[in-house]
Amino acid sequence: MSLDRGTKIYAGVLGSLVGLGLLAWLLTLDLRLGEIDEMLKQDQQIAAYPYTFRALEIKGTTAIISTPRTSAVPAVKFLAMIFPRLSRKSEQDPEVIAAQKQLGQIQGKVRELVLSREDIERVSWRIDKAWYSQKGVLID
């Protein structure tokens, strides 16, 4: 089957645009994000935690890492999502307090691990809206 001249030109332009888009995406891809995610997976405590902390972006020497902590969702609600046994417990319950402390310790360890990289001087946290959305909780 032979294509007419107009179709060939259209296909060439379309192919060029797709190629340029792919090239632009590859040039903006930061492989350090995958390296940080792999570092976090290698740590037994962090890997065992029910929430997966992820590197989202690197701006200069600042790593932006996902976090479930937000003032929009009470800590008890988040903790009940990952530890269902806490769903009917009050904020003052020793198990809830221990789970909050554990979250703080894990997040602190994530921070320390990310800062151990020579190219990262600061960690910034970003609410993981996608994770909450998957759980049926919408955050503005």
The 10s digit of each residue's pLDDT in 1-53 is: 687 888 888 878 888 878 777 766 665 556 789 999 999 999 999 999 999 99
CB 75 within 8 A of CB 69: yes
Specify the pLDDT at position 36: 95
Is this structure's pTM higher than 0.95?
no
Specify the pLDDT at position 118: 93
Secondary structure, 3-state, 39-107:
HHHHCHHHHHCCCCCCEEEEECCEEEEEECCECCECHHHHHHHHCHHHCCCCCCCHHHHHHHHHHHHHH
The 10s digit of each residue's pLDDT in 74-126 is: 888 889 999 999 988 888 999 999 999 999 999 999 999 999 999 999 999 99
Tell me the CATH number for domain 31-134: 3.30.300
What is the token pair recorded at 37? 């995610």
